Amino acid sequence: RAKEAGRNRWTVFDASMRDAVRERLEIEVALRAAVAQEQLSIAYQPIVELPGGRPAGAEALVRWEHPVRGWLGPNMFIAVAEDSNLISALGAWVLRESVRQLARWRAGGVVDEDFWLSVNVSPRQLGDAAFAERLAATLRQAGVPPASLVLEITESVMIEGSDLAERVLVDLRALGVRISVDDFGTGFSALGYLRRHPVTGVKIDRSFVSGLGASAEDEEIVRAVVAMSSALHLSVVAEGVETEAQRDVLVSLGVPLAQGWLWGRAVPAERFERDRVGERVPARSD
Ligand code: C2E
Ligand code: MG
Ligand code: MG
Ligand code: MG
């Protein structure tokens, strides 16, 4: 009986593994078509100044309307894209599209000249020697200054990154694009890496922000990141701010920029635009 149960368990495990492989393959095939046919879209989430809440920039976050499953968040498909080489085409599309969107917003007066866009970049994209050159061309064609673009990289790029990725980062900095370390504090965070790599900012991961107001430890971690960033002349954004209590602690710690549901979720460009315009044009009260 035990043997039988064991075999059944194995069978179940085996079947679920097979389903996972099938699901992944199915996502990969559909994603390949979606990338080729440009069926992805981008949602924009404001990054605001503290304490006032004025949007200083936004993060571009990719979305995919799957033909059967409906809207999918990047956690459902970025890993598949990274494992299947689709990430280069996907990432190039996200960059091109968000730079063009920024150009339209600038031309239409929807955003100020100093408004910037943050775009996530996978480690694999930095393994391409022509990455900076192509991005320079994209920016030039759109008429967007390189300083209006922030590339968000992960700590793993700095730690496991190749010499090539390192050179691409140097090229990007020479171009004038800014580079921020995303989810800061969740990786290895060896501080020496920040000094040795051409990064201009860090984003404090949501996992440290969520406890603010309740956890003294999280508050000390954020305080330390702020002190370190100021010493190294790095910009700081706090991610995933959901409550006023969290915001108040961030303000008291001197964090200058924040992003989170407290100010707004990631929304399609048209919606982002409506919200921005609504903000600038005071509602008539007649
Ligand atoms: P990320 O770069 O750390 O982006 C922040 C994530 O936190 C986003 O999830 C955003 O919607 C979510 N978020 C923002 N504010 C809050 C909040 O107050 N509370 C909570 N609970 N969540 C909040 P999203 O859009 O699902 O993206 C997940 C991750 O997928 C991103 O994390 C990023 O690593 C990756 N990603 C997104 N777009 C791209 C892309 O175009 N290329 C690449 N390579 N990765 C991307
Ligand atoms: Mg990010
Ligand atoms: Mg992040
Ligand atoms: Mg994150």
Pocket lining: 71 vs ligand 1, CB cutoff 6 Å: no
Question: Angle at which helices 216-231 and 244-252 pack, to 10 degrees?
Answer: 40
The answer for 254, left when phi > 0, alpha when psi is -120 to 50, beta otherwise, is left
CA distance 163 to 136: 21
What's the pLDDT band for 188 if we cut at 50, 70, 90?
A: low
CA distances from 201 to 24, 125, 128, 265, 274 (A): 34, 20, 23, 22, 29
Residue nearest to atom 43 of ligand 1 (CA): 120
Centre of ligand 3 from the C-alpha of residue 182, in Å: 5
Lowest mean pLDDT among 51-65, 114-128, 156-170, 209-223: 156-170
The answer to whether 138 touches 97, Cβ cutoff 8 Å, is no
pLDDT tens-digit profile of 33-76? 999 998 899 999 999 999 999 999 999 999 998 888 889 999 98
The answer to whether 196 touches 181, Cβ cutoff 8 Å, is no
CA distance 257 to 246: 13
> How high is the pLDDT of residue 189?
62
Upper half-sphere CA count for residue 284 (Cβ side, 13 Å): 1
Which is the closest atom of ligand 1 to the Cα of 266?
11
Residue of 38, 42, 78, 257 best suited for mutating to test ligand 1, as the one with most atoms within 8 Å of CB: 78
